[in-house]
Amino acid sequence: MRRPIDSLFGRLALLVVAVLLLSHFAWYALMRLERSQLQTRYAVEEATFLVDAVRQHVVRNPDQPLPSRVKLVDPASPEVPPETADMPPPLERFIEDVRERMPSGTQVRVGLPGRPPTLWVRASSDRSWIVVPVQPLRTPRSLDRTVLWLVIIFAFAVMAALFAAWALQQPLRSLAQAVARFGRGLPVPPVPERGPRELRQLTHGFNQMVQEVARTENDRAVMLAGVAHDLKTPLARLRLRAEMMEEVKMRDGVVRDVDSMTHIVEQFLVFAHDGADRSEPVEVDAQCERVVRSYRAVVSGAPAVQTDLRAGPAFQLPAATLDRILSNLLDNAHAYGAPPIVVATARTAEGFTLSVSDNGKGIAAQDLVNASRPFVRLDPARGGNGHSGLGLAIVERLVRRAGGEWHIGNHDGRGLRVLMSFPLSAVPEVRTASESAW
């Protein structure tokens, strides 16, 4: 099961959202703290300004009435609030700040709770308590607009960051897809060199590597095709001359050797062929049944070949590719395995499987890695005349070009089994009759 967090885009998105969320939360907390401090400083400045204004008013215009909510109270009046020792820390800091702005020895108190907030100030030179209104230090504030704008800014920041992460991972995704195609042996077009400098350098190196490998493969294919093609004419003449020999025993031996050499040449040509299969897709189950039936009729001394076909009509592959895969695997099982040979198909949750197994001695565990390498023959355990060591290499190349994966190994302690898996994306879609009519 694919997990989004495993992708580069998923991890970048998670990192970006986490960083933006943390930064916005820190910014919001700092803004709230700074606003509280600014409110306290403003309240202190306002209170000291009002107290100084009242003192000047009393000195210059003692007969004029004071502004509303500002009054002078006699020290002996019972209205004077007592000095409170236990106050909330914000209120205590506020009183200390006001006291620092006043002359030395000034008494500062706050009004009784439950009434409009007031500040009571009396310096040593004041005859009465000066009572002025103050702003509440913690005015109840709703988070309406602040939170709304914070959410809007956060949403736009996340969308911009996700777009940047998507643009950053696109070149890597293209490169990863190209690497996957290259690993399956499929043709790989040049990958556009875009993104950061390091990524452009990586893409440029990959394109150069693909070109060098393609050039090497092309040179090898041309060489093999040329050699194989040049050998076909001498082999045909040699077979014709062998047919004209009078001694039957010698003639049969020479014909068998010529047939073996012809088979090797044909394997060379198939292995050197690097073009895409443009043949029509066929149902794998039906084609397997036809190939097995033909194999029983044509190959002399062929062991029993059984079928277990359960994939259904949705499993389709190009006809030429499927014929080459089956013929090579059946020849391999006939030459090295033991009956019965089983050709099986099945449908899985991920796609389809095709397997060919025999009941021979199998391949030693240390030789399984080299079994599909070109021109490698595991003699004497799996040697024989007329074989070039290309059969399994051809099968692996054909399976990968068809978009599948393969696994070779010994099954249940018995013979060799080649298991090929084809995902649903690699299998052509089945067209209905109504669709094909259009």
Decide: residue 179, CB within 10 A, 0-12 exposed, 13-18 middle, 19+ buried.
middle
Decide: residue 418, CB within 10 A, 0-12 exposed, 13-18 middle, 19+ buried.
buried
* Residue pLDDT, tens place only, 290-340: 988 888 776 665 568 889 999 999 999 988 888 888 888 888 888 888 888
* Residue pLDDT, tens place only, 144-180: 566 777 778 878 888 887 787 787 778 888 888 888 8
Q: What pLDDT does residue 287 have?
A: 92
Of the candidate ranges 33-37, 87-91, 235-239, 288-292, the one whose mean pLDDT is the lowest: 33-37
- Check the CA dihedral 378-382-388-394 and report its sign: negative
DSSP states along 48-91? HHHHHHHHHHHHH-TTSPPPTT-EEE-TTSTTSPPPPS---HHH
What is the DSSP secondary structure assignment for residue 399, as one 8-state letter?
A: H
* Residue pLDDT, tens place only, 49-95: 888 888 888 888 877 888 777 888 888 888 888 887 677 777 788 88
* Residue pLDDT, tens place only, 389-433: 566 877 888 888 888 888 888 877 678 899 999 998 877 765 433
Q: Which two tokens stand for residue 118?
A: 């007031």
For the chain, count helices (H), then strands (E). Answer: 9, 11
pLDDT averaged over every residue in the chain = 78
199-223 mean pLDDT: 82
Structural domains of the chain ordered from first start: 4-133 (no CATH), 280-437 (3.30.565.10)
Q: Which two tokens stand for residue 436?
A: 């094909």
Dihedral angle computed from the Cα positions of residues 49, 52, 54 and 58, in that order, rounded to the nearest 10 degrees: -160
